[in-house]
Structure 1
């Protein structure tokens, strides 16, 4: 398979928004139950994705746009994810979806209409590691796909019971 263009990557990253909108009307019980024993609920999973988008938007994307040094750092994933799950208990599903669409849309807007050179430009993050829009998407699109697959399997198995 040929390498994806920058525009294709942005479209793929964007596609998570209509996907979430397409499932937002599932029954509340489906949103609250773990997708498998010992796993997160759909609501928690979406909150996890939203919080990563929020983090990278605020600590990297917004900084690039403002011409400021990036503050994104390599975080302890387990700690970050645990805080996202705690946050999920304090807000409604509708609020999580609203925030996910807001942060993902802001990221898309920042990457839309820029040159390929700007898309590939690397900036040192808070740890001095290189950050680029392309690199970010190449890391997070598979992350989206992983969770989307879990969500689809869960919805299919719920429909069979």
Structure 2
């Protein structure tokens, strides 16, 4: 069943943290193997997710909290993702996991304990489009689910090979 309430949405978003932590003990070879032909490896995939969390934390969530104008804008996804994949090659997986937990936790912290009104409150982003915590989760939870499914299929294939 899809998450619909503020609490359900936030809990699903948060559930990716223990899932990623459960992958840390995997052999380094598994972390470095592409998930499929032409796809990223686990390090690059996690970096991709972490970098988006970091971007939205710094350019939207932190701005809302500080009462400042949002600076989040529509970016060139391909360029952003390519930079995330490049970054993944320079950092050990433990550091990527630490950074992922850090930014995901900050996003969750900003949404925990706020009123339902504050959760759906909209703010103009850097492009003048509407941003809200609820909208962010509704956009990124399917993204999380997609990558979690990819990872699960990859791990299952590795273990059955």
Structure 2 length as normaliser, TM-score? 0.98
Work out the CA distance in 2 between the residues paired with 1:27 and 1:151: 14
SS at match of 2:70: coil
Which aligned pairs between 1:1-161 and structure 2 lie closer than 5 A? 4-161=4-161
Q: Deviations over 1:66-125 (max 9, x none)?
A: 000000000000000000001101111011000000000000000000000000000000
Work out the CA distance in 1 between the residues paired with 2:64 and 2:78: 27
Q: Deviations over 1:120-142 (max 9, x none)?
A: 00000000000000000000010
Gaps of 5+ in 2: none
CA spacing shift, 1:105–1:134, aligned 2, 3 Å = same
62-71 or 1-10, which deviates more: 1-10
Structure 1 length as normaliser, TM-score? 0.98
Quote how far apart the aligned CAs of 1:23 are: 1.2
What stretches of structure 1 move > 3 A for 4+ residues in a row? none
Work out the CA distance in 1 between the residues paired with 2:16 and 2:78: 23
Gaps of 5+ in 1: none
| CA RMSD, Structure 1 to Structure 2 (Å) | 1.0
Paired residues in the alignment total 161
Whether the 8 Å contact between 2:3 and 2:9 is mirrored in structure 1 is: no
Work out the CA distance in 2 between the residues paired with 1:159 and 1:30: 10
